[in-house]
Amino acid sequence: MTVFLIIAAVFTCIAALVGTLLVGKDISAQMKEYETEGDAIENEIARSHEYETKSVSVNIKSLSWIYIVLVLVVIFVCIGIFFY
């Protein structure tokens, strides 16, 4: 039982890392897209507004869910190991 809980925690940590890297990759792709659009003032203002309204809220929500699940699984594993 303890080994299963530890393995579950490790897989959850790996999944959280992969999810974080995917969010980072998405942001990097967005930044490259913005660089190809040019540096006109109008483009920079539009990108800034889009990032503030869309990107931050989506990324924060995604990362929050990833780490909430991670913390819950780790707490479950710790409780399981303690009581086993």
According to the model, what pLDDT value does residue 60 have? 83
Q: How far apart are CA 19 and CA 66, in angstroms?
A: 7
All residues at 6 or more sequence positions from 12 whose CB lies less than 8 Å from its CB, including other chains: 69, 70, 73, 74
According to the model, what pLDDT value does residue 68 have? 92
Q: How far apart are CA 14 and CA 70, in angstroms?
A: 10
According to the model, what pLDDT value does residue 51 have? 76
What is the domain extent for residue 16? 2-83
Least Cα distance to 12 among 78, 69, 75, 84 occurs for 69
Instruction: Provide the strand spans (E) within 7-81.
Output: none
Across 2-21, average pLDDT: 86
Q: How far apart are CA 41 and CA 78, in angstroms?
A: 52
Encode pLDDT of 39-73 as tens digits.
777 777 877 787 777 777 788 888 888 889 888 98
Number of domains present in the structure of the chain: 1
Encode pLDDT of 17-39 as tens digits.
998 899 889 888 887 877 777 67
- Indicate whether 3 pLDDT > 80: yes
